[in-house]
């Protein structure tokens, strides 16, 4: 059963809430005017969700800001019409728009950390909306704020009212944003990438909250995202946006059954999956074209695999095909039959090293002291990593998965000794790394490198790309002289798909995907054996993600690299990883070969993670979801750390941590239910 079937909407009797016709937005820059939105038309009905899909830079968020009349100072609406329940929003004065914003149309912004006021409590921020749009003050406002927090699934709402945003997790902050958006009882909700930075379990909770509240209130929703899984779970109607204009629209069922536009089909083909394991993903070459010029032909022509001569000098018209509309010359006259490309060639990975693991941790611990008082006495510890044992073979990928806050990144930093372990061992190439001085560790840094989650934050903005790559090589004395190092830099840039001439540019002159390629090139510059990849694709569009994943596979096959791949994206794990370790609150709860673990998950937490992943067919794995938030590592629960959220928990789970159970070749799980056999019924479900 899909989530849409769980919460049916009155689609048949739905009325049109929002009608957008020929909307155009212009941004005035120093050299030229940009047109991020250029003639966009769509409608949103009550009780329905319209999903606006596309890559970064296509104009999705700018469309939403234009609807709310919240454009930046350099922007203006250059044309078109926006009608909300029959009223022309573009003709209303700013004073009248203040009544519309929050009261009739509300917006959930992409990044709650920057959208919430850091010096105001949760109650004060919700109360602002209640006072402005509903006239509620005092105790009435407090009761309504409590009701809203409870409605969006925040535990202990009474306590949360007095908290500040920095005291909340990412999922909690996003739910506070939803509560604020719903406080004015809007008829239309605009959700701009509401789950992009969230773990799969928190994402599932947030999406279910939105769908349930939409069903209860009959709201219309404009959902902006680049996640096809979220679209399949939420949308009734879909619009694909590219370079400022819509190129395909239609209902969800038709769109997912047979996407029509070459751009839509490329987005689907770029998705990683188990079925594509061992094969290169299809990629979209190039980037979204700059929007500072007049387009003559099709805007997708430069990246289209089916481009024709007329595509470059004649703009395509709209064509209606089986409940869908598509803007493409391929559908002139009659529907073209697509010729599916042959499967991509296998990218063979080298066999694992039979002599043993290249990297191994045993009972690794990282406990951060908590100090209080005038003399800064230690009053406790944050048990970020608690007795973690991992083994990584040469030429293989070990995926470390789990929710934010479980200690994954700290494990990666502890392996590289960027964070000093407080216990356990780290063996690399037969050498013990734990306890080494910084000078002694330099001898091993050539073999161990890290690619960080945010390439913009990890690249020095004041240094040119060539100097960034040269810095590590010079520090670790790679290459006989400067000329050899410069030649190596040119070779590396070309190897990761960049032009050697780009070495003189600064990080801000590159896209997110290009910056991640530079980060990979920096790691490769010293010829490592192991690369720790910390969420390297989490902030990337699906098309750019495919390019990075292909690059990582090619480098592994060519150079025999080993990856510790830290992520919460299980689709990427299914495609890339050979082995998987599932981490929860500082400990490994299940580990084994990817095929065994992902097809037959044993631990309730692993099953909850897999059940929370949105699927393109709208279905989900039949398994209990992990409710609530991950507990604090300052005071982890007694017994099994997962028992407060586990549907199978019994008394023994609350008092005793489960020993390891071996289920198959190298498949290990820590769970009383599995060990005693009373979890078999749940696993079979």
Structure tokens at 3: 């989530």
Least confident of 161-175, 182-196, 220-234: 161-175
CA–CA gap between residue 441 and residue 431 (Å, rounded) = 10
Structure tokens at 564: 């510790």
The residues, ordered by sequence, that sit 6+ positions from 473 with a Cβ below 8 Å of its Cβ are 479, 485, 488, 489, 525, 526
- For residue 77, list its beta bridge partners: 25
Task: Determine what percent of the chain is predicted with pLDDT higher than 70.
Answer: 91
Structure tokens at 442: 């330099």
Q: What pLDDT does 333 receive?
A: 66
Q: Is 223 helix (H, G, I), strand (E, B) or coil?
A: strand
Please count the other Cβ atoms lying within 10 Å of the Cβ belonging to residue 111. Answer: 15
Q: What pLDDT does 113 receive?
A: 76
Q: Is the pLDDT of residue 10 over 70?
A: no
Task: Write the DSSP symbol of residue 588.
Answer: E
The architecture that CATH gives domain 3-104+186-260 is 3-Layer(aba) Sandwich (3.40)
> How many CA atoms lie less than 13 Å away from 127 in the CB half-sphere?
14
Please report which confidence band the pLDDT of residue 187 belongs to, taking 50, 70 and 90 as the band edges: very high
Q: Is the dihedral of CA 391, 397, 403, 406 positive or negative?
A: positive
Q: What pLDDT does 338 receive?
A: 45
Q: What is the mean pLDDT of residues 621-630?
A: 62
Nearest to 193 by CA among 222, 163, 236: 222
Q: Is the pLDDT of residue 282 over 80?
A: yes
Nearest to 485 by CA among 464, 463, 467: 467
Q: Is the pLDDT of residue 684 over 70?
A: no
Block residue for tokens 């920095």: 166
Q: What pLDDT does 603 receive?
A: 95
Structure tokens at 121: 């409590």
Q: What pLDDT does 340 receive?
A: 38
Q: Is the pLDDT of residue 554 over 60?
A: yes
Nearest to 385 by CA among 418, 358, 426, 414: 414
Mean pLDDT score across all residues of the chain: 87
Each residue's pLDDT tens digit, 580-620 = 999 999 999 999 999 999 999 999 999 999 988 887 765 55
Least confident of 18-27, 478-487, 670-679: 670-679
Q: What pLDDT does 681 receive?
A: 42
The residues, ordered by sequence, that sit 6+ positions from 330 with a Cβ below 8 Å of its Cβ are 262, 306, 336
- For residue 16, list its beta bridge partners: 45
CA–CA gap between residue 36 and residue 319 (Å, rounded) = 23
CA–CA gap between residue 423 and residue 444 (Å, rounded) = 20
Q: CA 8: distance to chain centroid? A: 27
Each residue's pLDDT tens digit, 477-514 = 888 899 999 999 999 998 888 888 899 999 988 877 78
Block residue for tokens 């299809």: 282
For the chain, what is the radius of gyration of the CA atoms?
26
Beta strands in 373-487 (DSSP E): 377-392, 397-401, 423-428, 431-432, 448-451
Least confident of 284-288, 445-449, 643-647: 284-288
Each residue's pLDDT tens digit, 316-333 = 999 999 889 999 999 986
CA–CA gap between residue 163 and residue 49 (Å, rounded) = 32
Which part of the chain is CATH 3.40.50.300? 3-104+186-260
Q: Is the pLDDT of residue 344 over 60?
A: no
SS3 content of the chain, % helix, strand, coil (to 5): 35, 25, 40
Please report which confidence band the pLDDT of residue 5 belongs to, taking 50, 70 and 90 as the band edges: very low
Q: Is the pLDDT of residue 351 over 60?
A: no
CA–CA gap between residue 658 and residue 677 (Å, rounded) = 13
Stated as kind and residue range, the H or E segment containing 406 is none
N- to C-terminal Cα separation, the chain? 14
Strand order across the beta sheet in which 324-327 lies? 105-108, 188-192, 220-225, 49-53, 237-242, 245-251, 324-327, 318-321
Each residue's pLDDT tens digit, 117-150 = 999 999 999 999 999 999 999 999 999 999 999 8
């Amino acid at each position: 059963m899909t989530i849409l079937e769980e919460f049916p909407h009155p689609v048949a009797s739905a009325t049109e809430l929002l009608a957008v016709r020929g909307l155009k937005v212009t941004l005035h820059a120093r050299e030229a005017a940009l047109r991020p939105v250029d003639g966009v038309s769509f409608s949103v009905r009550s009780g329905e969700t319209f999903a606006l899909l596309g890559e970064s830079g296509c104009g999705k968020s700018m469309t939403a800001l234009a609807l709310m009349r919240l454009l930046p100072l350099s922007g203006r609406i250059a044309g078109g019409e926006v009608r909300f329940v029959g009223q022309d929003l573009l003709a209303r004065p700013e004073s009248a728009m203040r009544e519309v914003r929050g009261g009739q149309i509300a917006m959930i912004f992409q990044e709650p950390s920057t959208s919430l006021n850091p010096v105001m409590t949760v109650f004060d921020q919700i109360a602002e909306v209640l006072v402005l749009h509903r006239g509620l003050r005092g105790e009435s406002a407090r009761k309504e704020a409590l009701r809203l927090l409870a409605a969006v699934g925040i535990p202990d709402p009474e306590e949360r009212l007095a908290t500040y945003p920095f005291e909340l997790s990412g999922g909690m902050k996003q739910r506070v944003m939803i509560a604020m958006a719903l406080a004015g009882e809007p008829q239309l909700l605009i959700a701009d990438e509401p789950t992009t930075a969230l773990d799969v379990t928190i994402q599932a909770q947030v999406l279910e909250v939105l769908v349930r509240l939409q069903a209860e209130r009959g709201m219309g929703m404009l959902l902006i995202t680049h996640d096809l899984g979220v679209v399949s779970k939420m949308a009734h109607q879909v619009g694909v946006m590219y370079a400022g204009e819509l190129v395909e629209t239609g209902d969800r069922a038709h769109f997912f059954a047979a996407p029509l536009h070459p751009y839509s089909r490329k987005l689907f083909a770029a998705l990683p999956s188990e079925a594509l394991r061992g094969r290169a993903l299809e990629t979209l070459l190039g980037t979204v074209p700059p929007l500072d010029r007049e387009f003559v032909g099709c805007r997708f022509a430069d990246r289209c695999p089916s481009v024709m001569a007329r595509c470059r000098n004649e703009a395509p018209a709209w064509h209606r095909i089986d409940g869908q509309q598509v803007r493409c010359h391929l559908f002139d006259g009659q529907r073209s039959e697509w010729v599916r490309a042959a499967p991509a060639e296998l990218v063979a990975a080298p066999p694992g090293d039979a002599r043993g693991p290249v990297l191994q941790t045993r009972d690794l611990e990282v406990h951060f002291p908590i100090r209080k008082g005038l003399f800064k006495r230690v009053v406790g510890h944050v048990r970020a990593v608690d007795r973690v044992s991992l083994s990584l073979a040469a030429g293989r990928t070990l995926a470390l998965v789990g929710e934010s806050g479980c200690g994954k990144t700290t494990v990666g930093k502890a392996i590289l000794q960027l964070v000093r372990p407080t216990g356990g061992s780290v063996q690399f190439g037969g050498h013990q790394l734990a306890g080494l001085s910084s000078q002694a560790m330099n001898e091993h840094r050539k073999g161990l490198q890290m690619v960080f989650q945010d390439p913009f934050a990890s690249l020095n903005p004041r240094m040119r790309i060539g100097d960034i790559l040269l810095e590590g090589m010079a520090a670790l004395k790679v290459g006989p002289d400067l000329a050899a190092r410069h030649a190596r830099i040119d070779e590396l840039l070309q190897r990761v798909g960049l032009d050697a001439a780009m070495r003189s540019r600064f990080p801000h002159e590159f896209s997110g995907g290009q910056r991640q390629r530079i980060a990979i090139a920096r790691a490769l510059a010293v010829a490592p054996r192991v690369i720790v990849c910390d969420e390297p694709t989490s902030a990337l569009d699906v098309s750019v993600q495919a390019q990075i994943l292909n690059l990582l596979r090619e480098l592994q096959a060519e150079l025999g690299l080993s990856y510790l791949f830290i992520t919460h994206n299980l689709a990427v794990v299914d495609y890339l990883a050979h082995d998987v370790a599932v981490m929860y609150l500082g400990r490994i709860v299940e580990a084994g070969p990817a095929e065994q673990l992902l097809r037959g998950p044993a631990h309730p937490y692993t099953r909850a993670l897999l059940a929370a992943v949105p699927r393109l067919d709208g279905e989900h794995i039949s398994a209990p979801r992990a409710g609530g938030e991950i507990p604090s590592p300052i005071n982890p629960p007694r017994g099994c750390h997962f028992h407060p959220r586990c549907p199978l928990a019994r008394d023994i789970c609350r008092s005793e941590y489960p020993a390891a159970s071996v289920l198959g070749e190298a498949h290990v799980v820590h769970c009383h239910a599995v060990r005693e056999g009373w979890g078999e019924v749940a696993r079979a479900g």
